[in-house]
Amino acid sequence: MSNPLTITEKIILAHTDLESCSPGDIVSARVDIALGNDITAPIAIREFDTIGVCDVFDNEKIALVPDHFVPNKDIASAKQAKTLREFAKKYNIKYYFESGEVGIEHALLPEQGIVLPGDLVIGADSHTCTYGALGAFSTGVGSTDLAYAMAFGEAWLKIPYSIKVIFDGKPNKWVSGKDLILFLIGKIGVEGANYMALEFSGTTFKYLTMADRFSISNMAIEAGAKSGIFEPDEITEEYVSKRAKRDYTIYKSDPDAQYLKTLKYDTAKINPQVAFPHLPENSVDVKEASAKNIKIDQSVIGSCTNGRIEDLRIAASILKGKKIAKYTRLIVIPATPEIYLMAEKEGLIDIFMNAGGVVSTPTCGPCLGGYMGILADGEKAISSTNRNFKGRMGDITSEVYLANPAVCAASAITGKISSPDEVV
Other CB atoms within 10 A of residue 50 CB: 7
The pLDDT assigned to 166 comes to 98
The model's pLDDT over 265-310, given as tens digits with 9 standing for 90+, comes to 999 999 999 999 999 999 999 999 999 999 999 999 999 999 999 9
The model's pLDDT over 185-209, given as tens digits with 9 standing for 90+, comes to 999 999 999 999 999 999 999 999 9
How many Cα atoms occupy the beta-carbon half-sphere of 190 within 13 Å?
13
Q: How far is CA 124 from CA 13, 380, 398, in A?
A: 22, 29, 27
The domain limits of the chain are: 7-264, 272-422
Alpha-carbon radius of gyration of the chain: 21
Q: How far is CA 165 from CA 140, 200, 234, 383, in A?
A: 21, 5, 20, 25
The pLDDT assigned to 99 comes to 84
Enter the CATH code of domain 272-422: 3.30.499.10
- Show the low-confidence residues of the chain (pLDDT under 70): 1
Please determine whether the domains at 7-264 and 272-422 fall in the same fold group of CATH. Answer: yes
The pLDDT assigned to 1 comes to 46
Q: Is the pTM of this model over 0.85?
A: yes
| Amino acid at site 225 | A
The pLDDT assigned to 82 comes to 96
The model's pLDDT over 203-230, given as tens digits with 9 standing for 90+, comes to 999 999 999 999 999 999 999 999 999 9
What is the chain's length? 424
CATH superfamily of 7-264: Aconitase, domain 3 (3.30.499.10)
